[in-house]
Amino acid sequence: METPLVGLATPSAAAPVQPEKEELVSRNSPPPPFDAKLAASRPVSGAECVKTAQLVLAESRDNGWAMLKACVERGKFPRGDFTDLRPLFSGNWDSEFARRPDAPQLAAKLVALRGGDVTDVKSFQKSKVMLFTLAAAIKQPDTYKGRMLLVRATLDETKGSGKAVTAKLTEIGFSAEKREFENEGRRVHREEHVRGRSEYGGKFEGHSDITYRQTTVRYENNFVPTGNKALGKLPQNDPFLEPGKDYLFLVRFDGVVKPPGESDDDDDDKKASVANVSIVAYYVPNPMIMD
């Protein structure tokens, strides 16, 4: 008869050792990388997305900036498009705007979402975003050479092929024009017949015929050329850039050239310098301007 050995572990007693090893390995493994696009897909509004990105920014500047870009890139939320700039100018993002080389791209995308009004550039400049206008660059070419500009312009034509493609741009400005439209089927007609006595004892009689109509006030964009023109270099022909249409262009300012027939002896007021720019990106702006 065999006597069992006391103190030897049976297979069932040794089983818990393996999960402990697995738990140790899991505890020491690095966390998964931050998914900015996934994080930006959860908020229901642009303001909420920015607020969440600020919380991420407090833990990691790179992750916070990546999420902010993903919020802007998403653009559309269940509670409306990302058009409210106020959450960005609370002061929390100023240091990032000043140090990030891709801040102009983020600003350009937001301006396009808001309708493409380049006067929005002034708001970003207050937060130290290095983004400027074509008008300022043409007036002071030496100051703005190499800087990023935001230009709302009509594409007149493109010339060239391969890596030598030039786009001729005519800058446009616009303002919101107030117009009143009558709502269909919203007319009300009323007739009144009035009789009475005056305070002097005489009689009077009157008749009124009034028609009411219900109207809606709308604001429409009125486009006007500013007189500024630019020649934009493209890396290649782009079939999505259609002549005759207007776009919001993000460009690098390379200097100015004089049109043929003009010389340095011409009066400054008669000069019509054309800007040389390199097109970095372009956007199709939303049709409405957001206040």
pLDDT at 269: 47
- Among 137, 78, 68, CA closest to 109: 68
Report the C-alpha gap between 152 and 221 in whole angstroms.
13
Band the pLDDT of 190: cuts 50, 70, 90. low
Report the C-alpha gap between 3 and 114 in whole angstroms.
87
Instruction: Calculate mean pLDDT across residues 244-266.
Output: 83
Band the pLDDT of 267: cuts 50, 70, 90. low
Domain boundaries, the chain: 36-122
Provide the residue type at 249 as one letter: F
Band the pLDDT of 211: cuts 50, 70, 90. low
Q: For residue 243, what are the CA distances in angstroms to 14, 64, 69, 274, 275?
A: 77, 39, 30, 19, 19
Instruction: Calculate mean pLDDT across residues 220-240.
Output: 91
Token pair in block for residue 114:
């808001």
pLDDT at 122: 95
pLDDT higher than threshold 50 for residue 121: yes
Question: Poorest-confidence range of 40-54, 188-202, 216-230?
Answer: 188-202
Band the pLDDT of 198: cuts 50, 70, 90. low
Per the model's pLDDT, the better-predicted residue between 277 and 204 turns out to be 277
pLDDT at 206: 63
In sequence order, which residues have a C-beta less than 8 Å from that of residue 43 and are 6 or more positions away? 49, 51, 52, 71, 77
pTM of the model: 0.74
Give pLDDT tens digits for 66-76: 999 999 999 99
pLDDT at 207: 61
